Structure 1
């Protein structure tokens, strides 16, 4: 039983094809990172079955996909690539973090949801949904920065490319209030292995409490289904009961819980 590592996404896809296909939803993060990851890995059992995968994105942050606790506990990355953090399904992350013997702390607890039967908001919010267009770019780059701050991330210096990419592909939707003002947004990722993830769901503080996020999320979810996406996914922060309840009212159902942890820096050599 062993971990094997590669920087070749095609080699990884070939080696782990069975697990990636059988557990596509649980492997959503790895599938998303696959093309840009600095390192990819798979765990092989004694009988030759691949039962675990991971992707390492800079700076040295492994993301587990579907993986056994045993495989997570046995992970040892190549010398010089000691992780600064790790994320993935809760049991695997805890097993790995404890096995390292390094001090660590949880940073975020998430829940992965998959859409069942999409349900319209009840009552429906006032206004309508529309796709974002280039003229919305200044507003939406500002909202994206606010979103990053709201979820505890260090915002990027410039979100122009990030937002433009989603507008150009028609993957970013807005909810307009009855007076025509944009009041909420939601985006969906590109489709990989028949699945796409809703993300960037944000309503400015002054517009909250009116159901606008529900409208935007329902619109972007329906657009994904209409485009032929077989499985529409999203992650929620378990510390936010409002969003967790909202998504379940729209038809999203829990799949598995995820955990992100950070390791304390190793002391310098004396």
Structure 2
């Protein structure tokens, strides 16, 4: 039983294809990162079966997919190629805790998340006023500004310019806006590209002045249905467990828990 590593997405796919395809929901973070990751790894059992995967994305943060606790502990003991000790690690709670404890280094949680999967979509009740529409190129400045606000709200360091980031999503028809009763955009949500039949809802944001009117529920319901109508088999999203409002909202819309995730930072 051992970890193997590569910087080639093609080699990683060839080695771990079966494991990735068997549970794309639990492997969603690795599937999303694998084409841009600096390092990819897979854990093989004695019989050669791959049962764990990870991706190390800039700036050097390992993200676990579905990984056995034994594999996480082995990684902590053996380390990553080059001997680097990551300052942070993310993934399913059990694997991250096993890894962190096996390092012997002091650590503290940075975020606790829950992964949800959309079952049968349930429309918001009561239905919000307005309608959803696909964003277009004229919306880029507004959406870029909202994305910066979104990043700050979730505790990330906002980038200087999100124009390219949002233009990609808008040009591919993956970002929806909710228009209020007066026709103004009041909320947004996007969905990732489909990989292995799964896609993730993200960038769910409503400016503070427009909240408590159900707009986020409306646009989230719309973007999830659009993904399903487009042929995606599984629509996923992450929520912050510290935000009971969003967790309750997504359950009302038909999302069901898959697994809990944890991010930790090493403090020593």
Paired with 1:58 and 1:138, the residues of 2 have a C-alpha distance of 27
The corresponding residue for 1:97 is: 100
Q: Of 185, 191, 195, which aligns to 2:198?
A: 195
Q: Of 151, 158, 172, which aligns to 1:148?
A: 151
Equivalent residue runs for 1:79-98 within 5 Å: 79-98=82-101
Deviation at 1:81, TM superposition (A): 2.4
Work out whether 1:138 is the aligned partner of 2:135.
no
Work out whether 1:257 is the aligned partner of 2:260.
yes
Cα-to-partner distance string for 1:166-199 (whole Å, 9 max, x where unaligned): 1101111011110111110000000101111000
Structure-2-length-normalised TM-score? 0.97
SS in 1 for 2:51: strand
Work out whether 1:16 is the aligned partner of 2:19.
no
Deviation at 1:84, TM superposition (A): 1.6
Q: 1:59·1:84 contact (CA, 8 Å) conserved in 2?
A: no
The corresponding residue for 2:50 is: 50
Equivalent residue runs for 1:241-252 within 5 Å: 241-252=244-255
The corresponding residue for 1:158 is: 161
Q: 1:185·1:200 contact (CA, 8 Å) conserved in 2?
A: yes
Q: Of 162, 185, 191, which aligns to 2:188?
A: 185
Structure-1-length-normalised TM-score? 0.96
SS in 2 for 1:74: helix
Aligned residues: 265
Equivalent residue runs for 1:20-31 within 5 Å: 20-31=20-31
Unaligned runs of 5+ in 2: none
Unaligned runs of 5+ in 1: 266-270
The corresponding residue for 1:268 is: none
